[in-house]
Amino acid sequence: MFNWLFFIAYVRKMFKFDFLPDDESNNESETQLNKTTVVQAVPAMFLKSKEILPKNSQLVLQSVLKEAKIKVIQSNHVEIKYFCPNDVIDFLKSQDLDEESILKAEQNHSDLLPAIYEGGLKVWECTYDLLNYFKETPNDFKDKFVLDLGCGAGILGIYLLINGATCWFQDYNEDVINHITIPNVMLNSENFIARSNFFSGDWSSFVDLAEKKYSNFKFDYIITSETIYNTNYYTKLHLVFEKLLKSDGAVLLAAKSFYFGVGGGVHLFKDFIDSKKIFQYKNCWKSTEGVRREILKLYFL
């Protein structure tokens, strides 16, 4: 008789919810992936979306500059600078910010605390896949309005700014935006702030905020990486695409084929898209070795 318990244990061992280590800055060579701990706590409510104005950004930038090493990604003749995430954690610890969501996750040795901290500190693996895709398949982002959804460190949005776009950066956690995203944007050019807007909070309330404050505002592109790991969030994610994308716009979504341990993945998301009958999609890229990863491009039907 086939032993299903053994098979499931084997599959979970082979395919974990894994990402590049914090200090990884180039995924062109094979790397040893670190196991990610996910705390499956169920919170009372999700954080309400808010727009974050970079009022004290210069002060934060100067403080982080003193403490954190600067890393560089080279992509398509573009140099993207960002602060080392581990150094940012050390900086936040030194500030005695006990209530910060990043520090809560660090104390729990977790990359995810559902609806409390959603992994915004790390630079996830599929971010590099999208940068490589941009390199191989150039897109004209000049004068386009683009949303970097689930932006984290903001690397994709910074690439878009360098290439002439106006970019909205959105991440679940306000402290990620304040201590990582905005300092990284300013590190590359303080002039980028004039072409940037920053938002935190849950995707559903983000849509409400965007529609109320910026009526009829739509994006040419929505760029998102590693945001389909939890099937419980698919309805909210789809709502962002449906409400905030231009009729002739496109979504570029990079993700792993499977996220064992939390339940999501490209195949399940495709099934969800098919069930809604609002978008069509095509596969733009698939990994040929290592952890299976894909890039999808979505359009309105």
Q: Is residue 25 part of a domain?
A: no
The pLDDT value recorded for residue 11 is 38
Q: Is residue 81 part of a domain?
A: yes
The pLDDT value recorded for residue 287 is 93
Q: CA-CA distance, 7 to 68, in Å (whole number)?
A: 44
pLDDT-derived band at 113, boundaries 50, 70, 90: low
pLDDT-derived band at 259, boundaries 50, 70, 90: confident
> In this predicted model, which residue has the larger pLDDT, 81 or 106?
81
The pLDDT value recorded for residue 156 is 97
What number is the average pLDDT over the span 55-79? 85
Q: Is residue 17 part of a domain?
A: no
Q: Is residue 215 part of a domain?
A: yes
Q: Which helix (H) or strand (E) holds 93?
A: helix 85-94
Q: How many domains are contained in the chain?
A: 1
pLDDT-derived band at 105, boundaries 50, 70, 90: low
Indicate if the pLDDT at residue 26 is higher than 60.
no
Residues 6+ apart with CB under 8 A from 103: 89, 92, 93, 97
Question: pLDDT over 70 for what percent of the chain?
Answer: 76
Which pairs from 279-288 meet CB under 8 Å and 24+ separation?
Answer: 279/238, 279/241, 279/242, 279/251, 284/133, 284/137, 284/252, 285/129, 285/133, 287/129
Q: Is residue 177 part of a domain?
A: yes
- Summary mean pLDDT of the chain: 81
The pLDDT value recorded for residue 112 is 55
How many CB atoms are located within 10 Å of the residue 53 CB? 11
pLDDT-derived band at 110, boundaries 50, 70, 90: low
Q: Is residue 39 part of a domain?
A: no
Q: Is residue 210 part of a domain?
A: yes
Indicate if the pLDDT at residue 162 is higher than 60.
yes
Indicate if the pLDDT at residue 1 is higher than 60.
no
Which of the 8 DSSP states describes residue 261?
A: T
Measured in whole angstroms, the distance separating CA 197 from the mean position of its chain's CA atoms is: 16
Indicate if the pLDDT at residue 100 is higher than 70.
no
The enclosing domain of 132 has a CATH number of 3.40.50.150
> In this predicted model, which residue has the larger pLDDT, 92 or 121?
92
pLDDT-derived band at 79, boundaries 50, 70, 90: very high
Range of the domain at 95: 56-300
Q: CA-CA distance, 148 to 120, in Å (whole number)?
A: 12
The pLDDT value recorded for residue 247 is 97
Comparing 105-114, 238-247, 275-284, the range with the smallest average pLDDT is 105-114
Q: Is residue 85 part of a domain?
A: yes
Q: How many CA atoms lie within 13 Å of 171's alpha carbon, on the beta-carbon side?
A: 31
